[in-house]
A and B are shown apart, each in its own frame.
Chain A
């Protein structure tokens, strides 16, 4: 005998009173809140594009603020159900802020369970799935809002948590239609259109961000100046998760590149990985099988690839690795990434065990150390790495190096490539 399921407790299937059921489907008054957490950091443009396409007004798409201890205290207290890594634990505060902290109430809380991700490495790795906590985080957090009573229901909010494989585009329309049709009163065709619009928005944003990174590298090449690569998960861009460590470095005049938006342009990648391909170590610049066999997890794969790029790219003279406390996905990668980067003399600094509080004093001292090493060794590292590459640099002609001790000045173009959804 089977027992009936209890859809009422899932808080997934209820339709929204405010979403009109008539043919016009005017959704202009519907407000949707999205917790700005985990892989929303690299996919937010998809959700914005999707929602706008079905008629949700831009001003009615609300993202929660960056993570902060105050947010957790004010909105998430008592709602945590388990102890785990901070990026997941912090989600309770984001949910709470969207439920209790809005002047103008939201109607729908949209918290996707993102199963797979678009990735520059797609097709070159075994899979591009997310960490199990990234995909299951919403189920865990929702429990804290439903365990005693239905907090969403009481606030007149529909909780929607579609399971979606954004890395497998052919599946997305069906997945989102199945899970959101009752929430937004969606037809299949309009879902299809919205998914298309979502991916167009995401692709165009990603392309722009990659272009910006290329501009930074071009500036570095033209001026023979170093930059820093941040090797981290996308949500370390959240000031409350990554604690703006890269910002402190940038303040010292070093341009910052984020792994997620490294340029994957063919000319540049072929130049960097030419020797590896000549030797048959890899089949393409995006092949990471030489360093990482278990290439299932999208963010982990990209971290490995980023480390390889950093080891080869002359102007990336320093890698800053950020990792959250109790991150199970990062754990097996600590030594390999460090070894990959340091194999070519590139500097490697790790800020591990990042939690809710910024260890300000400790960070300051380490920043000073990093800046010291950068100033002292960057030129040597750049020269050495350039010698290992062919002279046909796709970033343009390279000037001779300035004599040592020349003054470092920040690049006009240098800015942090950052994708904060706001």
Chain B
């Protein structure tokens, strides 16, 4: 190209780029974040406070966030995009009203997960940026946290150092948040004293916050990794949770339909108006919810079989060694989760085997189709069906979600082959609650019937009576504790498994 003279400067459109967030600004700046449950977010706050960051989760999603989001981004977005954008918008509006734009621009930065490929999940921040434009807050800083790198270094000014201690703190708080949430959902429907689970849960989460806050400094690299993997610091904390949980009295004989929640990542994780509070609603409808752990998603992202495609263009000098390391990492991850489960008396559910999810889904949905939860939605539904871990699957699908519509379509083939699989795909728009819940209700009615029939069947088969069980419980008060371990014995329902356990493991059937 010939050397050209200086050309006129045209004001072309440019995408949002955050101003730097410097190391010096750290003490005065609050990191905002969100997207998980309050339990995860509180523990994460502990991990961030531990690293001397000011950090604050955004308020839980509310119905008004939908309108605020819709107002500022292009039409047709999926509801997770609208809700999360709206939540940030409403928070910023309130702060601007109180403190003015300049103060808000200097006081806060927003950290969000990003850098994830093919659907809008990888483009959330484009919507956030558009909303910032709409609010006249282009100077507000928004940063992305890639989900697949532990050490991303001090980007853009050094104020935010996404290093090992930060990433491990975040991951560990996710794992602990998942486990405590799992305990919560398996306990609350059976609690004898209404509200006790909630009370104990809050105490436990505060205690975990404290543990994260006082996490010892073990360096910035492999020292801290080794410590997180080997130390009993978090298992001790979880054992304390278990001790607190002991105090909750439950009635294992309540017959509940067990409902496994699957669906789009944000929607299935969320607890609140963003998904019509469907988990609480299900509990109020005589069911027990199996809440989806975020850990399964992380496991999916790191699984070597899945990652192969992500690394298709990476030029590695030692691909075999890297592959071995990935396998080892995956085993360590599952091992850590199981170590934590053990500290909680093995009550929380195990992580499903990713290879099994892949092969279960294989005839219906190729495992390399990325976006959303990929093949996992089908894999999880079939896993639950074959292993009899739930009476019904409730799949939460955001209106206009790209990957979710594809897997729901493919589920038609699954349901055709397994007509007795109870599957309720629920489209969530954010403002059509009655319609969504009544759709769910239809399948739930059948699930409840099944739970009842299953329970009556096992009572008949074992010859046990409620009276005999209550008498046994009086003699063995540990059976009334929320931490009493009931092994899974070929039934989906908790009560049925409990009866079978007393009958065969505790010898009541012979009595």
Contact = CB atoms under 8 A, between A and B. Distances in A.
B410 interface: yes
Contacts of B77: 331-332
A140 B405 contact: yes
Interface centre among B119, B406, B408, by most chain A C-beta atoms within 10 angstroms, is: B406
Contact of B359 (A5, A130, A136): A5
Contacts, number: 219
A135 B313 contact: no
A168 B127 contact: no
Contact of A132 (B7, B15, B126, B371): B371
Given A84-B405, A132-B370, A328 B120 contact: yes
Contacts of A271: 1
A2 interface: yes
Contacts of A5: 359-360, 362-363
A242 B390 CA distance: 45
Contact of A296 (B6, B122, B400): B122
Interface residues of B, number: 68
A141 B76 CA distance: 23
B416 A148 contact: yes
A140 B12 CA distance: 41
Contacts of A292: 15, 126
Given A332-B120, A332-B127, A81 B408 contact: yes
A139 B366 contact: yes
B312 A331 contact: no
A77 interface: no
B11 interface: yes
A276 B12 CA distance: 9
A186 interface: no
A407 interface: no
B15 A387 contact: no
A388 interface: yes
Contacts of B402: 84, 131-133, 328-329
B353 interface: yes
A290 B14 contact: yes
Nearest to A292: B15
Nearest to B406: A136
Interface residues of A, number: 77
A136 B403 contact: yes
A73 interface: no
A329 B402 CA distance: 8
A10 interface: yes
Contacts of A140: 405-407, 409-410
A86 to B, nearest CB: 13
A388 B413 contact: no
B375 to A, nearest CB: 9
A388 B386 CA distance: 66
Given A133-B406, A392-B4, A2 B353 contact: yes
Interface in A217-245: none
A127 interface: yes
A177 to B, nearest CB: 16
A143 B412 contact: yes
A328 B130 contact: no
B110 interface: no
A129 B410 contact: no
A9 to B, nearest CB: 4
A47 to B, nearest CB: 18
Contacts of A311: 12-13
Contacts of B119: 131-132, 328
Contact of A291 (B2, B15, B409): B15
A308 B14 CA distance: 11
Given A171-B312, A291-B15, A113 B369 contact: yes
A392 to B, nearest CB: 6
A193 interface: no
B363 A388 contact: no
B326 interface: no
Contact of A387 (B8, B125, B130, B355): B8
A10 B413 CA distance: 10
Contact of B417 (A6, A84, A291, A390): A6
A71 interface: no
Contacts of B372: 132
Interface in A273-325: 274-276, 278-279, 281, 289-294, 296-297, 308, 311
B356 A2 contact: yes
Given A139-B366, A340-B13, A270 B1 contact: yes
A168 B76 contact: no
A279 B6 CA distance: 9
A136 B364 CA distance: 10
B76 A139 contact: no
B403 A132 contact: yes
A294 B118 CA distance: 9
A279 B413 CA distance: 55
Nearest to B358: A5
B489 to A, nearest CB: 14
A290 B412 CA distance: 42
Contact of B10 (A7, A81, A297, A344): A344
B117 A296 contact: yes
Contacts of B408: 81-82
Interface string A134-158: 0111011111101110000000000
A268 to B, nearest CB: 11
A343 interface: yes
Given A2-B359, A136-B403, A143 B117 contact: no
B15 A275 contact: no
A335 B74 CA distance: 7
A395 interface: no
A57 interface: no
A327 B364 CA distance: 24
Nearest to B126: A332
20 contacts: A9-B417, A82-B406, A84-B405, A88-B406, A129-B370, A132-B369, A136-B366, A143-B410, A143-B413, A146-B416, A147-B413, A163-B366, A278-B6, A279-B9, A281-B12, A294-B114, A331-B77, A331-B400, A339-B13, A343-B13
Given A271-B1, A329-B120, 18 more contacts: A2-B356, A3-B360, A9-B413, A81-B408, A84-B406, A129-B117, A132-B369, A133-B402, A133-B406, A135-B371, A139-B369, A165-B309, A274-B4, A296-B118, A331-B74, A331-B76, A331-B400, A332-B130
5 shortest interchain CB distances as A-B pairs: A132-B371, A140-B409, A147-B416, A143-B413, A10-B363
Interface of B: 1-2, 4-15, 73-78, 81, 114, 117-120, 122-123, 125-127, 130, 309, 312-313, 353, 355-356, 359-360, 362-366, 368-372, 382, 386, 400-403, 405-413, 415-417
